[in-house]
Amino acid sequence: MKLTKTLLATTALTVVAGTAVTAQDMADSMTLVSWGGAYQASQNKAYVDPYLANNAGVSATWDESSAEAVAKLRAMNEAGNVTWDLVDVVASDAMRLCDEGLAMELDHDEDLAAAPDGTSASDDFGDLIVSDCFVPQIVYSTTFGYRTDLVPAGVEPPTSVCDVFDLAKYPGKRSLQKRPIDNMEWALYCDGVAKEDIYPTLGTDAGVEKALAKLDTIKDQVVWWSAGAETPQLLADGEVFMGSTYNGRLFSAIAEQGQPIAMMWDMQSFDLDGWIVPAGLPADRLARVMDFLKFATDTQRLADQAAYISYGPARASSAPLVGKHADLGIDMAPHMPTDPANASNVHIYDYEWWADNRDDLDAKFQAWLVQ
């Protein structure tokens, strides 16, 4: 070992442009793909920076392309040149990538660290491992925020998702995501469909019509968003009274920017976000990325991430370790979507169902939008 190092040092000295080979035959750079913004910053602080500090000579490059990850990976695969090493995607995209053979299947117990008490990784993550290719990191939710100062005088602040559809009680514009997912379910729920009947109802033509009819009642009061930053901005400008977005975005508008906005957790829609490893990486890059992945998804690292952003860690063993916000010093637990007080009435988003019906419902939804 020592000899190798000395040799390497001499080589490095003599060959100026020489590339160092690490003792473990690992590549010395990684390309990580994420969403940018506060979320990527939390990843950087919680595990990328510490990992790089532990492994001198390794560098990490970010590519903020998670939103188009599936399309780009498919194109890279067809071109035969995958330049990414680790990609942060939502669960439904991970399933699609796994289905198409674009993501590598993992052995969660072997490739990931066990919990401190010895619980295996697959038990620690539990049901959140929705695909063999997927390592969940966080639980986030799509939920509503509203302007506290725009609540009509003498009226209680909104507490139910159905208040979104109640224009008489809460006048003003709403912002909703420009896609059928979540909106259709909320519409049916507020049209009196029981939670367990939502997907069976949505599977019928009559059910789709019913959901769209409910959305029709607020259609001219809706601003449709496609980027997660839009709703906080619309709320901050007072353009809309209430709007849906990712809970972490609302947290930063409320806690970090002090906007007069409040959360409405009712029927929040849980979703997962995590890593996938692209299929077909060369051995040295794969070795490096697996080493990083093991470190970045252990119990402590996932708990650390929660100090920077209000998304729940995906490991059960991380939950008790969630502490205070790194800069604001406030307790993070009550801001987590998984906190019992916030999760009293949640909407469980059905990946399988949407994987099948997405194309069809999207055509109908978009046609409804433009008409």
Partner 1 sequence: MSDTTHTGPVLAADGTPLKRSLRRALRAQKLRALALIAPLLLFVLLTFIAPIADMLFRSVENQITGKTLPMTVEELRDWDGTGTPDERVYRALFFDLFFAAEGKEHTKLGSRLNYEESGISSMFRTTGRDVDDMGKVYQKAFKKLNPAFDEGAFWYEMMSGGQGAEGNTKLLSNQIGRLEMLETTTFKGEIGFVPGAEIYKILPNTTRAYTAFAAFTFFMKNDVVAEEDPWEAVYPALALDLAEPATVAALADYQGPGAQELRDAAAQIDTLPPVDMKAAFAESNKDWLRTEYWQVIKAYSPPYTTGYFLNAIDMEKTPNGIALRSEDERIYGILFKRTMFMSMVITFSCIALGYPIAWIMANLPARSANLLMILVLLPFWTSLLVRTSAWKIMLQQQGVINDVLVWLGLVADESRLVMINNQFGTIVAMTHILLPFMILPMYSVMQTIPQTYLRAAKSLGANNWTAFWRVYFPQSVPGIGAGSILVFILAIGYYITPEIVGGTTGTFISNRIAYHISSSLNWGLGAALGSILLAVVMVLYYAYDKIVGIDNVKLG
237 touches partner 1 (CB under 8 A):
yes
Least Å from the CB of residue 139 to partner 1: 23
Angle among Cα 225, 230, 235 to the nearest 5 degrees reads: 110
Q: What is the DSSP secondary-structure string of 112-169? A: SPPPTT---HHHHHGGG--STT-EEEEEEEEEEEEEGGGSPTTSPPP-SGGGGG-TTT
Instruction: State yes or no: residue 66 binds partner 1 (CB under 8 A).
Output: no
Residue 63 lies near partner 1 (rule: CB under 8 A): no
* Identified binder of partner 1 from the candidate list 49, 68, 107, 327, rule CB under 8 A: 68
Nearer to partner 1, 45 or 179 (CB): 179
Which one of 150, 287, 316, 369 is in contact with partner 1 (CB under 8 A)?
A: 369
- Give the SS3 label for residue 369: helix
> With binding defined as CB under 8 A, does residue 283 bind partner 1?
no
Measured between alpha carbons, how far is 70 from 97 in angstroms, rounded to an integer? Answer: 6
Report DSSP state, residue 334.
G
Q: Identify the CA nearest to 137 among candidates 75, 87, 179, 77.
A: 87
Site for partner 1 in 89-118 (CB under 8 A): 96, 99-101
Site string for partner 1, 300-339 (x = CB under 8 A): ----------------------------------------
Nearer to partner 1, 71 or 330 (CB): 71
Told to check if 76 binds partner 1 by CB under 8 A, we report no
Rg of the chain in Å (alpha carbons): 23
- Map the footprint of partner 1 across residues 127-166, applying CB under 8 A: none
Asked if 231 and 143 count as a contact pair (C-beta separation under 8 A), the reply is no
Q: How far is the CB of 4 from partner 1 (least distance, A)?
A: 31
The pairing of strands 222-225 and 29-33 is unpaired
* Residues at the site binding partner 1, with contacts judged by CB under 8 A: 67-68, 70-71, 74, 96, 99-101, 173, 178, 209, 223-224, 226, 237-239, 352, 355-364, 366-371
